[in-house]
Chains A and B, each alone.
Chain A
């Protein structure tokens, strides 16, 4: 096989393999963009957390709507949001356990990972909100990210801002609402999965490196 043909084959293989290195995320749960909502009623107040677009790793615009038991919007509250890494459920140790958090019944939201963000994530059914779910946890057991204060939105009872999701994983979005000097905290669980899974990345790199080895072997055999 002459050298130019070999080089061409190598280049074609390399381009083909590079195309496989960064696979686009594929999720089975339907498509379409749209907002994601979480709701919980506590102490007579219905608190709804809305992501304007499906949540991704990084900065996300959010707004919170608060209405009272009669359905009237509640203005004048101080509303803040923060991210808390969720404590994994305790389970019996098994031989195959690798310390992974247990799988959640709700499908995960596709997210970006840093610069490789994929915004075309499908809408996800929100998981059950957990009011004051952290009461029995030690105060410093789960690092809570810095709180972001939401500003009053256009409509009464609406508070808007941005929240930063630091990375893929299992999170609680904690809404802190202070009204008439009374603080109420509500956790909304959110599973955030990387759009590029470790297995996919490993496969991509493996294929690319095999191509390098293959090409090197061809070059070597041509030289000897």
Chain B
């Protein structure tokens, strides 16, 4: 076993003895995983067997009023840590322990995994609106059960957490957001360079190897690191560092940009648009107009049109900006699109957090009301579920969009600076800056309009 003196990073959180001790402990992350799994089981019970009206369902409140708004905030501050404690991951590990076949990941998953995730994310968002998921406890329950089935199949037949890495619809979103997040885990290059054990990847008697197939020695992205600390426990050389970084920093220096990840960034922006539009009080008028234009009252048709248009807007705008930038930097539209798509992620996160902040702060007390109803305590149907008033919520939303816009603008600038010669910098940056401003203005406008409740 090699015995190299680590070169401590200035802000390595593992230098703190409490943090190091906790993350090295056999209780981490299990001490958080198991309660999360129990809460998930309660949620499933409520969704499937509880009240059929979303307003009265504790499972709906916990999932869509509490968990969904909080999760992008978690990604921002703790990277993909949610994935370490996710009940599906725990279930995968349990299944694998008892009946796992541990077959290698199929090639088609490795090649098309992100596209599959993109498609699933789009499909689930679409089906939420036309079949009812968020506003229908049974629909939410069916979604969770379907994911559970996928997890069980994956854990039973494939190695590690194949579902989490290549299939989970949330995986793509969390990967993109984790790149913009503030927590980073890496190996120390000087130490890893001479290591021949690779215990971080293969595992030891202390812990399994990386569940998401990452190799800290060569890892350059946080997209697939769930901060589970297996590598921290396994590394014999104390090479692993856990550091804080400015948000979006990883996006400035992406070595191998991928079109499917850039595409997902644009799609998420479109989904934020459509989620906002369908919650506005003017949505009824928009629907009526679409019904008149299409000659049908079928919601499948009218919503699908809205959905496609909403997603196409950021994709086409990104394409247009890439085309304009092409004239200045001589790089292909495809490459510009792929490289700068990542810059939208900051606005994605901001829009996502801002949208769901409405539900958390305007409907947050419904978690208490529905929870108390489990014990037969009804406080009445007419109580105000809001934690904050609408004016304050809107201010927070505007502030978040403002921060997201600054983040996206700065990211686009840094990508341009890192990728192109100085004489091409402004000609490359300006089209994407205009794009970010347009997307930011659209977001601002959507948050100015009054929004309807979820619960």
Q: Which residue of A lies closest to B141 (CB)?
A: A198
Closest-CB distance, B29 to chain A (whole angstroms): 24
- With A98-B373, A216-B101 known as contacts, the answer to whether A167 contacts B381 (CB < 8 A) is no
CB-CB nearest in chain A for B371? A99
Q: Are B376 and A205 in contact (CB under 8 A)?
A: no
| Given known A-B contacts A169-B52, A198-B141, A216 and B373 have beta carbons under 8 A apart | no
| In contact, B50 and A209 (Cβ under 8 angstroms) | no
Is the CB–CB distance between A201 and B142 below 8 Å? yes
Q: Write the B377-390 contact mask toward A (1 if CB under 8 angstroms, else 0).
A: 11001100000000
Which residues 87-111 of B have a CB within 8 angstroms of A? 95, 98-101
Report yes or no: B52 in contact with A115, Cβ–Cβ below 8 A: no
Bound form: Cα–Cα A208–B376 in Å: 34
B190-225 with Cβ < 8 A to chain A? none
Find out whether the CB atom of A97 lies under 8 angstroms from the CB atom of B145. Answer: no
Residue A156 CB within 8 A of the other chain: no
Q: Which residue of A lies closest to B372 (CB)?
A: A99
CB distance from B50 to the nearest CB of A (A): 5
Q: How far is the CA of A213 from the CA of B53 in the complex (A)?
A: 33
**B118 close to chain A: CB less than 8 A:** no
Is the C-beta of A119 less than 8 angstroms from some C-beta in chain B? no
Cα of A72 to Cα of B101 in the assembled complex, Å: 76
Cβ of A87 to closest chain B Cβ, rounded Å: 6
Closest Cβ–Cβ distance, residue A155 to chain B (whole Å)? 24
Q: How far is the CB of B61 from chain A (nearest CB, A)?
A: 11
| Binary per-residue interface labels of chain A (62-100) against chain B in the complex, 1 for a CB within 8 Å, 0 otherwise | 000000000000000000000001011010011111111
Contact B136 A167 (CB under 8 A): yes
CB pair B145 A100 closer than 8 Å = no
Contact of A93 among B95, B138, B378 (CB under 8 A): B378
Check if A33 is an interface residue, CB within 8 A of chain B.
no
How many A-B pairs have beta carbons closer than 8 Å: the answer is 108
With A167-B136, A212-B152 already in contact, the answer to whether A97 and B376 are too (CB < 8 A) is: yes
A213 touches B51 (CB 8 A): no
For the complex, give the distance between the alpha carbons of A101 and B51 in Å: 7
Within the complex, what minimum Cβ distance (angstroms) separates A150 from chain B? 14
Chain B residues positioned under 8 Å from A15 (CB to CB): none
Question: In the assembled complex, which residues on chain B have CB atoms less than 8 Å from the CB atom of A167?
Answer: 52, 132, 135-136
Contact with A along B353-377 (1 / 0, CB 8 A): 0000000000000000010011111
Interface check A219, CB cutoff 8 A: yes
User: B159 to chain A: closest CB distance in Å?
Assistant: 13
Check: B325 CB closer than 8 A to any chain A CB.
no
Q: How far is the CB of B66 from chain A (nearest CB, A)?
A: 17
Minimum CB–CB distance from B100 to chain A (whole Å) comes to 7
Name B's A-contacting residues (CB within 8 A): 46-53, 55-58, 95, 98-101, 130-132, 135-136, 138-139, 141-142, 145, 148-149, 152-153, 156-157, 284, 297, 370, 373-378, 381-382
Which residues on A are within 8 Å of B, measured CB to CB?
Answer: 59, 85, 87-88, 90, 93-101, 113-115, 138, 141, 146, 162, 166-170, 194, 196, 198-199, 201-202, 205, 208-209, 212-213, 215-217, 219-220, 223
30 interchain pairs, CB-CB under 8 A:
A59-B297, A85-B55, A87-B381, A88-B56, A90-B378, A93-B376, A95-B376, A97-B374, A98-B51, A99-B50, A99-B57, A99-B374, A100-B50, A113-B138, A115-B131, A169-B52, A194-B138, A199-B49, A201-B138, A201-B141, A201-B142, A202-B145, A205-B145, A205-B149, A208-B149, A213-B152, A216-B95, A216-B157, A220-B100, A220-B101
